[in-house]
């Protein structure tokens, strides 16, 4: 896990056993995180970025990170902000304070999703058992983030390393997502 781009923010949940741990790929539950959904107009981009500590990315499917911060592009006026657990209130008040009356929407969605870290040599292959996105490194370089579908569940995939991905799903979908990933990986340990 040492080569992860955002390793200071997305970390395995120490209290949770690995969902899967084989040579080719591992699946680990990520530790809790502050997640905020930020919506605003272009005029407020700069202010929001400086309040949060990271310039909000404007390229589709891109992300921007800084110490203990990540901003993920979700749409032309939508970002998901990541910050350490228990910093929700301070991050919210920083942004609200800076934006003041500028039109925006900031909603705490920390608990809406759970994240798993899928990493290893066959991580992209494993994700492709249920996600139709092209994960080749040229097309989906490190830092790319996309909301997409895993079989029948909506998910968000964020590439944090050559062979490491964060996969988020709404909490009630996570059993389905992680369960199917583990099941699909079983052929990797076939004789």
Partner 1 sequence: MSQPFRTEKGGRINRTEQLTFTFDGEELQGHQGDTLASALLANGVHLVGRSFKYHRPRGIVTSGSEEPNALVGIYRHGDQTPNLRATQVELYQGLEAISQNRFPSLGFDVGAVNDLLSPLFPAGFYYKTFMWPKAFWDRVYEPVIRAAAGLGKPPKTPDQDTYGNIYAHCDVLIAGSGPAGLAAALAASETGAKVILCDEQSEFGGSLLSEVSASIDGKDPSEWIAETINKLEQMDNVTLLPRTTAFGYFAHNYLALAERVTEHLPNPDPKLPRERLWQVRAKEVVIASGAIERPMIFPENDRPGIMLAEAGRTYLNRYGVKVGHKVLVAAACDTAWQTAFDLADHGVEVAGIVDLRETPPENLMAIAKARGIRVEAGCMVTGTLGRKRVKAALLGRMMTSGNVASGGQISCDALLMSGGWTPTVSLYSQSRGKVVWDSDKGAYIPGASVQRERSAGASKGLYGLQEVLEDGYAAGEEAAKAAIGKSAKVSYATATGGEAGTGGTLGALPHDRNASRVKAFVDYQNDVTAKDVKLAVREGMQSIEHIKRYTTTGMATDQGRLSNMNALQIASDSLDRPVTDVGLTTFRLPYTPTTFGLFAGVARGDYFDPVRKTPSHDWVVENGGVFEDVGQWKRTWYFPKNGEDMHAAVARECKTVRESVGLFDASTLGKIEVVGPDAAEFLERLYTNPWKKLAPGRCRYGLLLNDAGFITDDGVIGRLAEDRFHVTTTTGGAPSVFATMEDYLQTEWPELDVWITSTTEQYAVAALQGPKARDVLAPFMEGVDLSADALPHMSVKEATFCGVPCRLFRISFTGELGFEINVSRRHGKMMWETLAKEIEKFGGTAYGTESMHVLRAEKGYIIVGQDTDGTVTPQDAGMSWAIGKKKADFVGKRGLDRPDLVADNRKQFVGLLTKDPKVKLEEGAQITTAENPAIGTPADGHVTSSYFSPALDRSIALAIVKNGHALEGKTLYVPMPDGSIPVEVTGPVFYDKEGARLNV
Q: Which residues bind partner 1 (CB under 8 A)?
A: 32, 37, 39, 41, 77-78, 101, 103-113, 125, 128-134, 136, 139, 151-153, 170-173, 175-176, 179-180, 183-184, 186-187, 189-191
Start-to-end CA span in the chain (Å): 27
User: Closest CB to partner 1 among 12 and 176?
Assistant: 176
Strand-pairing partners, residue 125, are none
Nearer to partner 1, 66 or 99 (CB): 99
Angle, helix 88-99 to helix 45-52, in steps of 10 degrees: 150
**Smallest distance from partner 1 to CB 92, Å:** 12
The answer to whether the Cα torsion of 123, 127, 158, 60 is positive or negative is: positive
**Is 7 or 170 the residue whose CB approaches partner 1 more closely?**
170
Distance in Å, CB of 67 to partner 1, minimum: 26
Q: Are 155 and 147 in contact (CB under 8 A)?
A: yes
Is 50 or 148 the residue whose CB approaches partner 1 more closely? 148
119 is written with which tokens? 């990493």
């Amino acid at each position: 896990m040492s080569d992860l781009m955002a390793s200071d923010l997305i970390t395995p949940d120490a209290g949770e056993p690995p969902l899967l741990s084989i040579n080719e790929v591992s699946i680990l539950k990520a530790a809790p995180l502050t997640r905020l959904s930020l919506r605003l107009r272009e005029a407020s981009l700069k202010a929001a970025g400086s309040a949060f500590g990271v310039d909000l990315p404007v390229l589709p499917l891109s992300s921007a990170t800084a110490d203990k911060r990540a901003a993920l592009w979700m749409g032309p006026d939508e970002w998901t902000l990541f910050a350490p657990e228990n910093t929700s209130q301070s991050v919210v008040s920083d942004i609200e304070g800076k934006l003041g009356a500028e039109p925006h929407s900031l909603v705490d969605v920390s608990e809406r999703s759970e994240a798993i870290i899928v990493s290893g040599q066959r991580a992209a292959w494993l994700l492709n058992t249920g996600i139709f996105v092209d994960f080749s490194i040229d097309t989906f370089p490190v830092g790319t983030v996309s909301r997409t579908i895993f079989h029948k569940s909506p998910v968000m995939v964020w590439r944090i390393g050559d062979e490491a991905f964060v996969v988020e799903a709404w909490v009630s979908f996570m059993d389905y997502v992680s369960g199917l990933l583990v099941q699909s990986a079983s052929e990797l340990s076939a004789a």
